[in-house]
Amino acid sequence: MEIEQLVKEAQKKNDDAFYELISIHKVQLYKIAYSYFNNEQDALEAIQEVTYRTYLKINKLKYPKYFNTWIIRILLNYCNDEIKRKKRMNKQQIEIKVHQNENEFINRLEIESLIENLEPKFQEIIKLKYIQDLTIPQISQILEFPEGTVKTWLNKSLKILRKELEREGEYYDGK
């Protein structure tokens, strides 16, 4: 069935259609959540919470064809709130796993920590673009900013990342 059809069915309280709808999007949602929390447990928690919120609100979605942007936005709201809450509770745990390829692991930590230092809106754009492979128009719809703004911010974020990497480079190579 098409997404739009599934949404309409789910709005009529058809639980199987609703389940199917979430299943179709689960991998994408999981990856976004994972990019925020960096651990499996919290990302799974996010899936449960987003399923819960979406279930309660699905009747309020006026345009079924925007289900995808709509549910991503619910997820982003949840992730942002949860990150804030965790910071408040001072519970943010850093989970370090054993990786086969240490070099790749260090690279990833480096870029992820640089992304984490960007302003929240820049972070969001970088994650949606580079981790989820979304297009500028899609990002502009999800974040509700004009495409031009998204482009400008994306370029700006990349510029900041480049500058930071260069600075680190100098630090290491400078001897």
Partner 1 sequence: MMENKEDHLLNELKDHYSKLSIPDQMDQMINNGIMKAKKKQRLKRSTYVTTIAVSILMLLFVTSIRVSPVFASFVTNIPGLSKVVELINYDKGLQSAVDNGFIQVIGKSDEHEEITFTVDSVIIDESKLIVFYTITGIEEYNYISLSKVELLKSNGERYKVGTSYDHNINEVEDMVSNKIDFSFHGDTPEEFTLNVNISTSENADTEENLPYTWSVPFQVDKTLFENMKHIYDINQTVNIEDQLITFEKVTIYPTRSELSISFDENNSKKIFGFDDLRIVDQSKNEWSTNNGVSAVHISDHERLLYFDSNYFYEPDEMYIEFKSIRTLDKDKLELQVDLEQQKLIKAPDENITLEFINEKGGELEIGFRIKYDGLHQIRSEEISHEFHDSSATYSFRTSTSSILSNDNAKETVLLIPKREYSNPLTFSFWDYPARIYEDVQIKIK
Q: Interface with partner 1 includes 156 (CB under 8 A)?
A: yes
Q: Is 70 in the site for partner 1 (CB under 8 A)?
A: yes
Under the binding rule (CB under 8 A), the answer on residue 96 touching partner 1 is: no
In the bound state with partner 1, the residue whose beta carbon lies nearer, of 62 and 88, is 62
Size of the chain in residues = 175
- Asked if 108 is part of the footprint of partner 1 (rule: CB under 8 A), the reply reads yes
**Are the CB atoms for 19 and 1 separated by under 8 Å?**
no
According to CB under 8 A, which one of 6, 9, 17, 18 is a site residue for partner 1? 18
Q: Are residues 136 and 150 in contact, defined by beta-carbon separation less than 8 angstroms?
A: yes
Under 8 Å between Cβ of 8 and 67: no
Task: Assess 120 for contact with partner 1 (CB under 8 A).
Answer: no
Q: Long-range contacts of range 78-81, CB-CB < 8 Å, 24 or more positions apart? A: 78/46, 78/49, 78/50, 78/53, 79/32, 79/33, 79/36, 79/37, 79/46, 80/120
133 binding partner 1? (CB under 8 A)? yes
Residue number with CB closer to partner 1 (1 or 159)? 159
Interface segment toward partner 1; rule CB under 8 A; list 1-9, 83-91, 143-151: 143-151
- Is 3 near partner 1 (CB under 8 A)? no
Other Cβ atoms less than 10 A from the Cβ of 33: the count is: 25
- For partner 1, the binding residue among 3, 11, 66, 83 (CB under 8 A) is 66
Q: Is residue 82 part of the contact set for partner 1 (CB under 8 A)?
A: no
Least distance (Å) from partner 1 to the CB of residue 91? 20
Establish if 56 lies at the interface with partner 1 (CB under 8 A): yes
Which helix (DSSP H) or strand (DSSP E) does residue 33 occupy? helix 15-37
